[in-house]
Structures are given as C-alpha cells and as structure tokens.
Amino acid sequence: MTTPAVPATRIPEAVHRRRWAILGVLMLSLLIVVLDNSILNVAIKTISTPAPTGLGATQSELEWAINAYTLVFAGLLFSAGLLGDRLGRKKVLLGGLFVFGVGSALAASSGTPVELISFRAVMGLGAAFVMPATLAVLMNVFERDEQPKAIGIWAGGVGLAIAIGPITGGILLDHFWWGSVFLINVPIVILALGLMIWLVPDSRDPKPGRIDPVGVVLSVIGLVLLVYGIIKGGQLADFTDPTVLATIGAGLAVLVGFVVFEKRSSHPSIDVTYFKDKVFSSAISAIALVFFALMGVTFFAVFYTQSVRGYSPLQTGLLMLPLAVAQLVFAPRARLVVDRFGNKATTTGGMLLIAAMLAAFAGLEADTPIWILEVIFFLMGTGMAHIMTPTSVVIMQALPREKAGSASALSNTFRQVGGALGIAVLGSVLSAAYRSGIEDKLPAAARHSAGESIEATLGFAAKLGPKGDALVGPANDAFLHAMHVTALCGAGVALVGAVVVALFLPGRTPAPDEKEAELVGADK
C-alpha cells in the first residue's frame, strides 16, 4: 500500500492560533479515559475485599471489570471513528464524554460485581467515542510538520494519566469508599465538556465510510468469547477443559468470520487492505504487543505491592510513579531519537528494554529492595515512550488527514485488544500458576474458592483466625512463583514484538541536507 498524499490545504488561521490550547483540551479528554484504568489498577485489591470495604469480587470478576470496559471500547472504536468522520469529531467527542460520565456515576454506586461489570461496559461505550476523536481532531488542527511533536505530547498525556491515576486512586481509597475512584471522573467530564464546546473546532470527512453494524457485532462477539474462554481456563487452572476449548474455538471462528466478512464488504469496519503495508502492520502490531505485556504486568504488580509487600493503595500509586514519569518525560522527545536513529532502531530498542524489564520481574522476591522495582518501572516507561510515539506517527501519517478518525481508531482498537488479551492471558497464567502452587496447602472443601487468587486465600485465612496464619507464607510463595512465570510469558511477547518491528519498520530517513550532500557526492 502506498502512502496516500495529504491534502495541501492549510488549516484555518483562527484554528492554527489556538492549536496548543485545543491540544490541552484533547489531552484532558484523553486523561479521563486512561485515568480510569490506571485508578482501577490500584483499586482492584480493595474491590476484591468482602463488603462493606469492597464488593468481594473474585479474580475472574476483577478481570471482567477491567475487560468489560476494554472489550466494548475495542469493539466499537472503529465504528466510533467512522461515525466521527461522518457526523463530526466534536459532536462525537461531546456525546462520548457525556456517556462516559454517566457510566462513571453508575459504576460508583454498584452494589455487586455484576453491576460493576455492566456499568464498566457503559463507560467503555463512551470512551470508544472519545479516544479516536481526540487524535483525529489533533491531525486536523496541526500541520503535517508539527504533527510528530503534537502526537508526542499527546502520548505524553497517557504518561501523565498513568501518573495521576494510581496516586489519585490511593488518596481516594485512603479517605473514601471504593466507588470514589469512579465518581472522580464526573467533575473532570463536566470541565472537559465546557472547554470543548468553547475551544475545539468541528471537522469531518467529506467522503465518510458507511457504518458496518454486522462487522461491529461479529468483532465484539468474537473478542468476548475468546477472552471469556481464556479467563475461564485460568479460573479452572485447566485450559483443556471442554468448555474452555469450545469457547476459545468459537471466539476464534467468529473472528475469522469477521475478517472474511470485512474483506468482502463494500463498507468494512476495518479496511484490511491497510494491512498489506508491512510498515503499517508492524507499527499496529507493536502497539498491541506492548499493551498486551504492560496491562498484564500492571494487573499482577498491584497484588505484589499490596498483598505480598503490604503497601497501601496510595503507596502503590506512588511506587508506580516512575513508570508514568518516564513516559511523560520521554514520549514528547522520542521523535528526536527517531530523527537520529530511525523508527526501526528506536522502536526495537524500546521493545527489547520492555522485554528485559518484564524478565526482571522474575527476580523479585518478598524482601527485594523496593528501589529495584522503581528502576524496573522507570525503564519500562522509557521503553514504552520510545514505542508509542514513533508507531503512532507512522500509523497516523499512513492515511490522509480526512481519514484521521479511521487511523486513530485502528491504532486504539489494537491497543485495547492487546491490553484486554494481556489481562486475560497473563491474568489466567497468574491464576493457574497460583492455584497449582497453593491447592495442596488448602483444605479440600476450600480449594476452589480460596485457591483462585492470593486475596481469596488471605481472606480464607483471616476467617480461620490464628490457625490461618500458617497459610500466609505459602500464599506469598505461591504468588511469587506465579508472578515469575507470568512475567517471563510477558517478556516472551515483548521479544516477539521486537522481532516484528526490527524486520518491518523503516530505518533512519536521511535529513534534507544529508540527501543533498549524497546527491552532490553522486554527481562528482
């Protein structure tokens, strides 16, 4: 696939003058979408605690509380991008923010894990219309030469949200009930809506694609079945169970049907012809794989810091700060590294760094000096920053400006699918490995319920009184072993990503003065 030419029309002067203020509003909208997941990561231990402190959610219910959001988000992203191209990105942004705010208020009032899962899906519905529209608007208020810098700052906003989320969640959980981590979204939504109405211009694609309801339904059903089967396998610690195999097989079959339907459709949700371009495909794959590894690691890191090490939610949020700070610092500057070394070297280096840090988790024990975890988080954030910015620029500049909503939706769809599968797969590996390590220490009658997660075991031990103290040590040992296995699986995934980008992303593009020097040399 050749890169389509970007229209030469300049951005209106009135919009150009306020482009940085508009970027600030877009980042505020992005902030709440990312903030929500990063806050939830700190709150999952509290939510797993029995009432009245939490909801008594099991590990599989926690995975669904996260994945109900990400699956609806991922399943609707592309159609949301097309709807923004058709109706106007500003209108879609406003509508998405409103639905997200309503879903947040409802999630805060949940009385059971099932209610929380349902309202998280509503939040995912709203977020699906926010994320692609922010990047699409960005591409329509910045000229092409400023787009890499703006995208770098946009990616840095993700780091800011990751930084603010765990700390905010920790403060809220120290002073309020668990639902406050969702209720905090509401005032941010109100502020973002007001600023957006005032500052952000509307834009649309003059020749938008048609909505593809069949493709949307097939993608959502396929992803839900696949993730359900994976989570169920981890819950049972048996991926050969007939129900698990049937569900995973059905999910894969529906997803294959989705791809076939999209190839034949005159108005596909995802134009699969884009993936004929190896550069485009490898950039998309890198984003999916890095989020696969990162989301899975974040899921088990919270249990390591809180359940094994005994840190509070606020302390856990502060411990995760280096991960976010590194992204915030390096994401806007990653383009400078790309200018010097090229996309291939920068992104491959980032993937290898993440793989190394994931492998380093396999060396953490209950008494490992905490500064080692901080270094791991910082270097992991550094690696992410040098993947997200260059791959986002490659993806967004591969399509013409009027298709910015579609390009953004593709990028974010694969990011969310990668994250959802990371939580499902690595969470299931964690659950299965933990169960196999603790089951023989538990009474036969309690093995199923108390063996699902470290929190379930510790909750069971607390009910036994002083007799339960003997379970704490084995529970920590079983969790650490499970975490080591899971981290190595994540490292393997990151290595696959490194190979993909090393093979297919372009190398360094010579600067104009270097090209001129090469031509002069050739003439001589």
What pLDDT digit, counting tens, does each position of 397-452 carry?
A: 666 655 655 666 677 677 767 776 777 778 778 878 888 888 778 777 767 766 76
Per-position b or e across 381-402, b if 16+ CB within 10 A of its CB: bbbbbbbbbbbbbbbbbbbbbb
Per-residue pLDDT band at 474 (split at 50, 70, 90): confident
Residue 122: pLDDT band (50, 70, 90) is very high
Q: Which residue type occupies 440?
A: D
The Cα–Cα gap between 337 and 389 comes to 11
H/E segment holding residue 91: helix 89-108
pLDDT given for residue 253 in this prediction: 93
Q: Which of 47, 53, 44, 55 is nearest to 165 (CA)?
A: 44
What does the mean pLDDT of the chain come to? 77
For residue range 353-377, what is the model confidence (pLDDT) as tens digits?
999 999 999 889 988 999 999 999 9
* pTM (two decimals): 0.71
427 in Cβ contact with 299 (< 8 Å): yes
Token pair belonging to 499: 């190979």
Phi/psi region, residue 465 (left: phi>0; alpha: psi -120 to 50; beta: rest), is left
Residue 249 and residue 464: Cα distance in Å, rounded? 41
Find all residues with CB under 8 Å of 229, minimum gap 6, and list them. 244, 245, 246, 247, 248, 249, 250, 251
258-279 pLDDT, tens per residue?
A: 888 878 877 776 667 777 777 7
Calculate the alpha carbon distances from 108 to 187, 271, 292, 331 in Å: 13, 38, 27, 32
Residue 520's pLDDT band (cuts 50, 70, 90): very low
The answer to whether residue 65 scores a pLDDT higher than 90 is no
Ramachandran class of 517: left when φ > 0, alpha when ψ lies in -120 to 50, beta otherwise: alpha
- The three-state DSSP-derived secondary structure of 371-437 is HHHHHHHHHHHHHHHHHHHHHHHHHHCCCCHHHHHHHHHHHHHHHHHHHHHHHHHHHHHHHHHHHHH
d(C-alpha 472, C-alpha 489), whole Å = 26
Alpha carbon 294 to its chain's center: 8
